[in-house]
Every structure is written in structure tokens, then in C-alpha cells.
Amino acid sequence: MNITIVFFIGLVIGMIGVIPPGLLNMTAAKISLKDGYNRGVIFSVGVCVVVIAQTYIAMVLGEYLTLHPGVVEILQRVALVLFVLITIYFLVIANKNETPKINPKISSIHSRFFQGMFMSALNMFPIPFHAYMTVTLSSWGWLNFEPSSIASYVAGVASGTFAMLYVYIFFFDKIKGKALTSQKNMNLIIGGITGVISLITFINILKDL
């Protein structure tokens, strides 16, 4: 597979992974509003540095899973349970409690960079997400695990993540008063996405039986 195509595949997947309103993209937007555009961008760069490491780890894991299909079957069942629990949390439990607004206090550029790295490191969802995606793309013949493909995919994911964070920073002024950005609706969006993933995973498990 041409590495340019692999890059754009990673770019699209990286953007998809950050589309739902969440802690990272909403924090980037709020930092931009509070401390200025530059600090929002620096925060996003910090996020993407960690995303590079997470995506690489995910691809190493994905290569292992590709070579050991039996492990994939076990992980599918574990993932189903986890996604169902996450769905229940965001659709039922999280909406019962008021989530405090994020009021970032750190204002220096370097602190924003490390804050982005720290918050991104706490978000471990990209590792299983990209591991699953690399296994799927590999099975479709769209991705291999050659060093050039790995580098291209990782670069694409990081670029896509940064691009979507930038979109949040740039357009947050226009959407901040909309219902989309309320905490309740964020939870419903995330819960809906994990619910769809749970359904797809369940169907795949049934097909393998």
C-alpha cells in the first residue's frame, strides 16, 4: 500500500477519533478562549506528542493480534463487556451528576504543552481503538506493518488529531452556545458511539460462533 494513502487513512481515522466532544478537544477550545489561540495550539501539540506514542504502541499490539487470531477472539469478548459498561455509564450514570466545568489555571506556554501531554496520557482509549483499527485495516489489505507504513499511519493519526483539535479551537466561539456542547449531550453522543461499537462487536462475535 502506498504510504501516502496510508497517511490519509490515518489522517481520517485520527480525525474520527477526536470528533465527539470530549475532555481533550473541549479543553483545547476553552484554553484558547481563556488564554489565547497560541496556548490552545500548544496544548494540542502536547496532546499529539502522546498520541504518536499511543498509536505506535497500538500498531505493535495490532501486529501481534494479527499473528495470533485466537487472542483477538478473547479480546473481542472483553471489549464487548467494556464498551457495554462505558455505554451504560455515559447514557445513564454520568447524566445523573453535574460535571464541573473545566477552568484551566495554568497559563504558561510550556505548562500548556505538558498539560496536553498529561491529559492525553490519561486517555488510554486510543490504544485499543487504533489496535482494533489496524487489525481491521490489515485484514482488508489497506495496511501492513512495514516500518514505512507504520510511520506513515502514525503521522497521519497525529495530524488528524491535531486538525480536529484545531477545528474545535477555531469554531468553538460559534458553537459554544449550542446544545451540542452541554455536558449531558456530550455524554449522550459518546454513549451512542460506544453503543454502536458494542453492537458491531456483538455481531462480529456471533459471526465467529
2-40 confidence digits (pLDDT tens): 889 999 999 999 988 887 667 788 788 888 878 888 888
User: What local confidence, expressed as pLDDT, does residue 151 receive?
Assistant: 93
Q: Which of 88, 79, 64 is nearest to 204 (CA)?
A: 79
Average pLDDT over residues 94-111: 56
User: What local confidence, expressed as pLDDT, does residue 8 receive?
Assistant: 94
HSE toward the beta carbon, residue 147, CA cutoff 13 A:
0
* pLDDT band per the 50, 70, 90 thresholds, residue 104: very low
Torsion of CA 199, 63, 9, 83, to 10 degrees: 20
pTM of the model: 0.70
CB 90 within 8 A of CB 194: yes
Average pLDDT over residues 46-58: 94
d(CA 2, CA 89): 41
Q: Where are the domains of the chain?
A: 3-74+101-173
The mean of the pLDDT values for the chain is 79
The more confidently predicted of residues 95 and 119 is 119
What are the grid coordinates assigned to 128, written together?
A: 485499543
- What is the per-residue pLDDT across 130-185, written as a single tens digit (0 to 9) for each? 888 888 888 788 888 889 999 999 999 999 999 999 988 887 756 555 555 555 66
Q: Which of 54, 53, 64 is nearest to 135 (CA)?
A: 64
d(CA 165, CA 49): 13
* pLDDT band per the 50, 70, 90 thresholds, residue 196: confident
